[in-house]
Chain A
Amino acid sequence: MGLLEIKGLTKTFGGLLAVNDLTLEIHKGEIFGLIGPNGAGKTTVFNLISGMLPCTGGKVSYDGHNITGLNMYQIARKGLVRTFQLPTLFNNFTVLKNMLMGMHLHAEVGLWRTLLDTSYTDSLESEILARADGILQEVGLADRKDELASNLPHGHRRILQVAISLGCEPGLLLLDEPMTGMNVREVEEMMGLIRKLRENRGISFVIVEHNIRAVMGLCGRIAVLNFGKKIAEGTPAEISQNEAVIQAYLGGSL
């Protein structure tokens, strides 16, 4: 049984069929790639899986639980977290504060406790702070922790996005174009980070990316989407030979 099972996932917007009967299975420990031309529906698939959009049809289950129809925050609680295509951060927070927010699931305190039980909240927060520092160390942002997130260069914003999602202690991370806008060195760093996270934390990944070289280098298996439909699935080698895929990318070689 896979970690993430998607069966017959479908989404229509009015008359437009954005995602067409998608079936995928992601295994634990995998780095799975999702590619396809622009407008193929990749981000929509993420939006559907993560609960941001309701499905028109199909079923999604994570770690054995049926998560179809759940809200995004509920799905995050189960261990499935996604990042966004744009470098969405809490812009007016410092890097550290962004990270502290990321730890929300472990740091939530009720209203009454907040008002009355200072010792509990204080000790909880210092524990959270220590863990947040640890994650920032792990991703390499520790030296920038007091900077405003809005001041970060693009590459670091992407890394911070990943760091924040680590706070949830996810089992599966959906990364939406994590390397877009990065230079070669930054792409290498991100690839290294993803591998490291898989090694050290046992996190599985599904990555939507346009950087084909990175996808080929990083992913064990890849699925290709076009017009909302899966047109191919397999190893990087298989995909690069696949006729339909090459056609979809308008004759470009992979």
Chain B
Amino acid sequence: MSEQLFIQMCITGIVMGLIYILIALGITLIFGVMRIVNFVHGEMTMLSAFSMYYLFEVWHMNFILALLLSVIAISLMGIFFQRYIYKPLGYDILNVMIIAAGASIALKSAGWIIFGPVPRDIATVFPGMIRVLGTPLSMERAAVALICVGLTIALYIFLLKTKTGKSMRAVEQDSEAAAVLGVSIDRVHAIVFVIGCSLAAVAGALVGMLFAVEPEMGGEPLLKSFMIILIGGMGSIPGAIVAGLLLGLIDSFTETLLGGEMAFIIGFALLMLILIIRPKGFFGYEI
């Protein structure tokens, strides 16, 4: 195997890993604070990508503006879900899972009906190539990687330094104690969803840029995010980062070397294996 190919696979793996991490962060954040799993995350990614497609690609809106609007739209959707769909169920994890499965399939089907199966493309905002360790890397991928890293760091700082972030961590530890100390639990829940879904929205835009925009696109990143969270541990951010990079690399290597179908099998076999061996993950909370 040539050195070039190896580096190529590594880079692809890291870039993919970073995107998965972004999605996984949203899910793990929501889980950490609210102890529920937002299964519609994948569809939110998809809808954001379509929103970017129409706003930026078709109507030629400014990229940043389009991104902002997409993020806001998805965040509103997230709050809607949190308040009117998950909350009435008492945030019971199994019930939330079932209802989210239904919602996600409804959204995906709606996507099919409205947008059709033909994949769309979002023109690149970052043209050009650079060289990393002697291998060519598109500016687009580099930019995506930087955005992911940037957002992850931003999230970290937010959680550690800001008042809202700290109140979120307080609720994550012990919601009753936090309530007694004056933290508005409802507000925290809403903010968690906003952040989590915004991350999904950005991830959707990025995936849409790098790959194609189509109604089915939400499924795979969601699954990969789950694998990340399962390896790294539900509710753990460092875990998600480590596991995300690892998984991105594994994915990249198996895809290139063994082909798509075997990668499919390996992916699910790996998922089963992880769940069987250590459902808690290596850093996280038990459900």
State if A and B touch, Cβ cutoff 8 Å.
Answer: no
